[in-house]
Amino acid sequence: MVEEKINTQKLEGVSGWLLVFIISLFLSLVFIGSQVFGNYSTYTSSGIGFILLILFIFQTILIGISLVLIIEKKKIAMIWVTIYLGYTAILNIIVGVILYNINPETASSQALQLIWGIVLSIIWLFYFFQSERIKNTLVK
């Protein structure tokens, strides 16, 4: 009887893996903020650093928009999350190439971080397109 009740329960709302995704977005904001403000002079002292600063600011904007739309349970959040995750995967590649050109000796650790970032983006994309919770939550 209990098992039947669990199976018929509709997955919806901001919990489960969706909550994990939201927490990861907040952590990303903290990480980007610490990177930018902790190394602000590095980002403003060179052309490449300034370009990275602009790219990180744009990523922060995408995170903010995605967070607000998910919390408000807007259907359009799917589009913004897809843009954010695709942008993040591309940004990981760009940053990896730039860091490799600056210091090739750390290429193996940078490659691992690059691959991990892309894999995480792909996993989250699959989740957003396959999840019953997402389909039942983002309905407005």
Question: How does residue 10 score in pLDDT terms, banded at 50, 70 and 90?
Answer: confident
Collapsed DSSP state (helix, strand, coil) of residue 12: coil
pLDDT in tens, 95-121: 888 777 777 777 677 778 888 888 999
Residue with the larger pLDDT of the pair 86 and 46: 86
Contact call for residues 32 and 59 (beta carbons, < 8 A): yes
Which of 12-21, 44-53, 56-65 reaches the highest mean pLDDT?
56-65
Buried b (16+ CB within 10 A) or exposed e, 88-110: bbebbeebbeebeeeeeeeeeeb
pLDDT attached to residue 126: 93
pLDDT band for position 8 (50/70/90)? low
Q: What is the band of 130 on the pLDDT scale with cuts at 50, 70, 90?
A: very high
pLDDT at 63: 96
State residue 81's pLDDT score. Answer: 95
H runs (alpha helix) in the chain: 2-8, 16-38, 40-45, 47-71, 77-102, 107-130, 132-137
